[in-house]
Protein backbone atom coordinates (compact mmCIF):
# COMPACT_ATOMS: atom_id res chain seq x y z
CA UNK A 1 0.00 0.00 0.00
CA UNK A 2 1.76 3.14 -1.21
CA UNK A 3 -0.22 5.58 0.94
CA UNK A 4 1.58 7.92 3.30
CA UNK A 5 -1.37 8.16 5.71
CA UNK A 6 -1.81 4.36 5.83
CA UNK A 7 1.88 4.24 6.79
CA UNK A 8 1.20 6.79 9.54
CA UNK A 9 -1.70 4.58 10.74
CA UNK A 10 0.64 1.53 10.73
CA UNK A 11 3.37 3.51 12.49
CA UNK A 12 6.01 2.97 9.80
CA UNK A 13 6.05 6.76 9.28
CA UNK A 14 6.14 8.72 12.54
CA UNK A 15 3.57 11.35 13.43
CA UNK A 16 2.64 13.48 16.40
CA UNK A 17 -0.66 11.91 17.42
CA UNK A 18 -3.41 13.97 19.00
CA UNK A 19 -6.16 11.32 19.18
CA UNK A 20 -6.52 7.64 18.34
CA UNK A 21 -9.14 4.94 18.62
CA UNK A 22 -9.84 1.77 16.60
CA UNK A 23 -11.30 3.69 13.69
CA UNK A 24 -9.90 7.24 13.71
CA UNK A 25 -6.47 8.86 14.02
CA UNK A 26 -5.65 12.55 14.39
CA UNK A 27 -2.13 13.97 14.12
CA UNK A 28 -0.29 17.25 13.63
CA UNK A 29 0.10 18.41 10.04
CA UNK A 30 3.78 18.37 9.06
CA UNK A 31 3.51 21.81 7.40
CA UNK A 32 1.09 23.73 9.61
CA UNK A 33 -0.86 26.49 7.87
CA UNK A 34 -2.17 27.87 11.19
CA UNK A 35 -1.20 27.69 14.89
CA UNK A 36 -3.55 24.69 15.17
CA UNK A 37 -3.42 22.40 12.12
CA UNK A 38 -4.45 18.83 12.80
CA UNK A 39 -5.45 16.13 10.32
CA UNK A 40 -8.27 13.76 11.22
CA UNK A 41 -8.38 10.54 9.20
CA UNK A 42 -10.20 7.22 9.14
CA UNK A 43 -7.80 4.31 9.69
CA UNK A 44 -9.58 2.61 6.80
CA UNK A 45 -8.11 3.65 3.44
CA UNK A 46 -10.72 5.75 1.65
CA UNK A 47 -9.05 7.77 -1.13
CA UNK A 48 -11.42 10.75 -1.39
CA UNK A 49 -14.84 11.96 -0.27
CA UNK A 50 -16.09 10.63 -3.62
CA UNK A 51 -15.23 7.11 -2.46
CA UNK A 52 -17.27 7.24 0.75
CA UNK A 53 -19.93 4.50 0.74
CA UNK A 54 -23.21 4.61 2.63
CA UNK A 55 -21.76 2.06 5.05
CA UNK A 56 -19.08 4.65 5.94
CA UNK A 57 -21.53 7.36 7.01
CA UNK A 58 -21.15 6.57 10.70
CA UNK A 59 -17.37 6.70 10.33
CA UNK A 60 -17.56 10.10 8.61
CA UNK A 61 -19.75 11.33 11.46
CA UNK A 62 -17.12 10.11 13.90
CA UNK A 63 -14.40 12.12 12.10
CA UNK A 64 -16.43 15.28 12.76
CA UNK A 65 -17.10 14.24 16.36
CA UNK A 66 -13.35 13.82 16.89
CA UNK A 67 -12.75 17.21 15.23
CA UNK A 68 -15.20 18.87 17.65
CA UNK A 69 -13.55 17.20 20.64
CA UNK A 70 -10.04 18.21 19.55
CA UNK A 71 -11.16 21.82 18.90
CA UNK A 72 -12.38 21.94 22.50
CA UNK A 73 -9.20 20.36 23.84
CA UNK A 74 -7.07 22.81 21.85
CA UNK A 75 -9.05 25.69 23.36
CA UNK A 76 -10.20 27.07 20.00
CA UNK A 77 -13.84 25.97 19.97
CA UNK A 78 -15.31 29.27 21.12
CA UNK A 79 -13.01 31.57 19.13
CA UNK A 80 -13.67 29.43 16.07
CA UNK A 81 -11.96 27.15 13.62
CA UNK A 82 -12.31 25.71 10.14
CA UNK A 83 -12.77 22.13 8.93
CA UNK A 84 -11.60 21.50 5.38
CA UNK A 85 -11.80 18.48 3.10
CA UNK A 86 -10.02 18.87 -0.24
CA UNK A 87 -11.31 16.62 -3.02
CA UNK A 88 -9.24 15.69 -6.07
CA UNK A 89 -7.11 18.00 -8.19
CA UNK A 90 -9.30 21.11 -8.42
CA UNK A 91 -9.98 20.83 -4.70
CA UNK A 92 -6.26 20.86 -3.94
CA UNK A 93 -6.03 17.30 -2.62
CA UNK A 94 -2.43 16.09 -2.43
CA UNK A 95 -2.71 13.02 -0.20
CA UNK A 96 -5.28 10.52 -1.48
CA UNK A 97 -6.39 9.17 1.89
CA UNK A 98 -9.48 10.97 3.19
CA UNK A 99 -8.66 13.61 5.79
CA UNK A 100 -10.25 16.59 7.46
CA UNK A 101 -8.02 19.56 8.22
CA UNK A 102 -8.77 21.24 11.57
CA UNK A 103 -7.41 24.78 11.34
CA UNK A 104 -7.50 27.48 13.96
CA UNK A 105 -5.66 29.46 16.59
CA UNK A 106 -5.77 32.66 14.53
CA UNK A 107 -8.24 34.66 12.46
CA UNK A 108 -8.29 32.67 9.23
CA UNK A 109 -8.39 34.41 5.86
CA UNK A 110 -11.26 34.17 3.42
CA UNK A 111 -11.12 30.84 1.63
CA UNK A 112 -14.09 30.51 -0.68
CA UNK A 113 -13.00 30.38 -4.35
P1 LIG B 1 -4.35 17.85 1.13
O2 LIG B 1 -3.79 18.93 0.26
O3 LIG B 1 -4.23 16.48 0.52
O4 LIG B 1 -5.74 18.17 1.60
O5 LIG B 1 -3.48 17.90 2.45
C6 LIG B 1 -2.46 16.99 2.76
C7 LIG B 1 -1.83 17.48 4.04
O8 LIG B 1 -0.99 16.46 4.53
C9 LIG B 1 -0.93 18.74 3.86
O10 LIG B 1 -1.39 19.77 4.73
C11 LIG B 1 0.46 18.23 4.25
O12 LIG B 1 1.22 19.20 4.95
C13 LIG B 1 0.17 17.01 5.09
N14 LIG B 1 1.18 15.98 5.03
C15 LIG B 1 1.74 15.46 3.90
N16 LIG B 1 2.63 14.51 4.21
C17 LIG B 1 2.63 14.41 5.57
C18 LIG B 1 3.34 13.59 6.49
O19 LIG B 1 4.17 12.74 6.13
N20 LIG B 1 3.07 13.77 7.81
C21 LIG B 1 2.17 14.70 8.24
N22 LIG B 1 2.00 14.79 9.56
N23 LIG B 1 1.48 15.48 7.41
C24 LIG B 1 1.70 15.35 6.08
ZN1 LIG C 1 -4.32 5.26 2.93
Asked if the structure places residue 42 within a domain, the reply is yes
What CATH number does residue 16 fall under? Answer: 3.30.428.10
Cα(83) to ligand 2 centroid in Å equals 20
Asked if the structure places residue 76 within a domain, the reply is yes
Asked if the structure places residue 23 within a domain, the reply is yes
Active-site entry in 37, 45, 97, 99: 99
What are the tens digits of pLDDT across the range 69-107?
999 999 999 999 999 999 999 999 999 999 999 999 999
Please tell me whether the interface predicted TM-score (ipTM) of this complex is above 0.90: yes
Asked if the structure places residue 90 within a domain, the reply is yes
Annotate 10-31 with b (16+ C-beta within 10 A) or e (fewer).
Answer: eeeeebeebeeeeebbbbebee
Q: Which domain holds residue 73?
A: 4-104
pTM for this predicted structure: 0.97
Decide whether any atom of ligand 1 lies within 6 Å of the 79 Cβ.
no
Ligand nearest to the CA of 39: 1
Asked if the structure places residue 93 within a domain, the reply is yes
Percent of the chain with pLDDT over 70: 98
Known active-site residue 101 = no
CA dihedral 100, 106, 110, 112 (to 10 degrees): 10
3-state secondary structure 5-26: HHHHHHCCCCCCEEEECCCEEE
Amino acid sequence: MDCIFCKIVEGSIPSTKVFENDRVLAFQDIQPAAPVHILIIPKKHIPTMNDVADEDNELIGELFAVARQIAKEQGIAEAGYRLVNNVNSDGGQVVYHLHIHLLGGKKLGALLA
